[in-house]
Structures are given as C-alpha cells and as structure tokens.
Structure 1
C-alpha cells in the first residue's frame, strides 16, 4: 500500500523540479548581479531549500494523517501545493523576466501564503505548524535579500 508520506513526498519532489525550467542564457544575467556583502550563505541555498521542502512535506503529512480525505484537509493540501508552486516559480520567473522586483513579489506572495498556512495548521497539529517555521523564516530572509539586491542593481529591478 502506498503511504500518504510517499505521495506527499513524491508530489513535493516533482514540483521542486520546476526550478529547472530556466534557460542557461538567463543565468548569465543572475551571475552578474551584485550581491550584499553579508550574503555568504549563497552556496548553501539549494541545501537549505531541500530541507525546507522536506519539512513542508512532513508538515503536510501530519495534517493529512489528522483527518485524511476531508474537504478541509484537501483545501489545506491545495494551500501547501500553492506555497510550493509559488516558491519554485521564483527562480525561473525571476530569471526569465530578468527582474528582481518580480522575485521580490513572488517571495512576498510565498511569505503570505506560508504564514497563512502556518496559522491554519497550528490548531490541527503543532508539529505541522512548527515544521513550516523554516519556510516562514527563510522565505523572509530570501525576500529581503532579493529586495536588497534591487538597491545594489537598480537597472535589474
């Protein structure tokens, strides 16, 4: 029998592949952008997001197991999916548009969805809510970093 965590993890893994929908020529634009001096953690970002997506999948599994198949649970699963899609859209959309403002808007949208989802699942499972905190914290850092990069690269806003 296929367990819920397998399905949730599989969907998370498949959606995460959306970050690969960019053209290599778009990377040249991003590489040339000036970054804040304090952005020493950039090489760790893929690992950080991998952990955050795993936490999100764990959170979704706790919520699903609480009341599997209910309308409320399906709506929350849709919110988890929306959060991941918005997050995954950041890289290819920002690169394709060559616009840090687009990235900041997507980051802000993800931050709002992440906060709403966290507040929605806390009454169901405190563990599920806590597992979303890395997203809420890191999403804010990423959104702020993108905004800060606009200040350093106004021509790429």
Structure 2
C-alpha cells in the first residue's frame, strides 16, 4: 500500500513540474488571438490536475499488475518517457519560448503518445487504460486548440 501511494504521489508530482518551471506570461497570453471557445485558464488548470491524478492512478495500477514498474517492457517505458517529456516541454515551448508552432507540434506528440500509452495500459489492465481515455480526449482537443492559437497569431 505504501508503495502504491508513493508511486501515485511521485507520478503526480513529476507531471506538475512544468507548471512551476515555466511560468505563464499572462500579459502575453492575454494578448493572443484565441478562439471564442477557449476554456478559461482556471478551467484548464483544474482539468490538468484531474488528468494528472488519472495518469498517476493508471501508473499505480500498472505497477501493481506488473509486480513492479521494473517488470514492464522497454516499449512501455519509451512511450511513457516520450509522453512525459513532451507533456513537460509544451509549457516550455508555449510560455517560455512563446513559440506557438513548436507548442502545437509538441502537443500533437503528447496526444499521439497518450493514445499509444492508453493502448499499452489497456493491455496490462483495462481500468488502467480507461483512466487514460480522458487524457487522450483532452490532449487531442488541446492539439486542435494549440493549432488554432498558432494559426490565429501568425
């Protein structure tokens, strides 16, 4: 039980890092042309908090089912690392570099790797994969939204 709690907390904390490392330049963000249907910043933050909990729960379930994360195949680790790093880099590209094109490409990588990660998780334990479905949906939406930001601010 302690191991599961630690894995959950560590995974959740790791996904939160970019929010602290790459602060939003609010005046720059507010000045961007955005679609009318862009969610409010607070809503986006709340959604990510929930998604990070779903990711952490999924990884915790996978750990228990596999008898330890070290027992997972390298392919799982590769896609998890690609997803994690691209997730973290989005904030860097969008908010530190203010490069909406790279942010959009990165966001697409997050969405695609989330789909692959979900398939891996479903094959390990169905509920672990189901927990990642909202992540797939949100990152797909976020990719489209990011593309809209890019195209509206050329």
Runs of 5+ consecutive residues of structure 1 not aligned to the other structure? none
CA displacement at 1:11 relative to structure 2: 3.3
Q: Aligned with 1:123: secondary structure?
A: helix
How far is the alpha carbon of 1:93 from its aligned partner?
Answer: 2.2
Tell me which residue corresponds to 1:21: 21
Contact 2:7 2:59 in 1 (8 A): no
Q: Provide the C-alpha distance between the structure 1 equivalents of 2:21 and 2:123, rounded to a whole number of angstroms.
A: 36
Give me the whole-angstrom Cα distance separating, in 2, the residues matched to 1:61 and 1:7: 6
Partner of 1:59: 58
CA distance in 1, matches of 2:34, 2:3: 43
Match of 2:140 in 1: 140
Task: After superposing the two structures, state which structure 1 stretch, 113-122 or 80-89, moved more.
Answer: 80-89
Aligned to 1:101: 101
| Superposition deviation, residue 27 in structure 1 | 4.0
Q: Distance in 2 between matches of 1:105 and 1:19?
A: 19
Counterpart secondary structure, 2:67: coil
Is the CA contact 2:33–2:149 (under 8 Å) kept in the aligned structure 1? yes
- Tell me by how many angstroms 1:34 deviates: 1.0
**Do 1:12 and 1:84's aligned partners in 2 also have CA atoms closer than 8 Å?**
no
Distance 2:78 2:62 in 1: 12
Cα pair 1:83 1:110 within 8 Å, conserved: yes
**Within 1, Cα distance between the matches of 2:17 and 2:108?**
21
After superposition, the C-alpha distances for 1:129-157 in whole angstroms (9 at most, x for unaligned) are 10000110000111100101122111xxx
Helix, strand or coil at the partner of 2:123:
coil
| Aligned-CA RMSD value | 2.2
Give CA deviations for 1:23-48 in whole Å, capped at 9, x if unaligned.
56x44322210110111444300000
User: TM-score normalized by structure 1?
Assistant: 0.84
Please name the residue that 2:115 is paired with. Answer: 115
Q: Is the 8 A contact 1:60 1:128 kept in 2?
A: yes
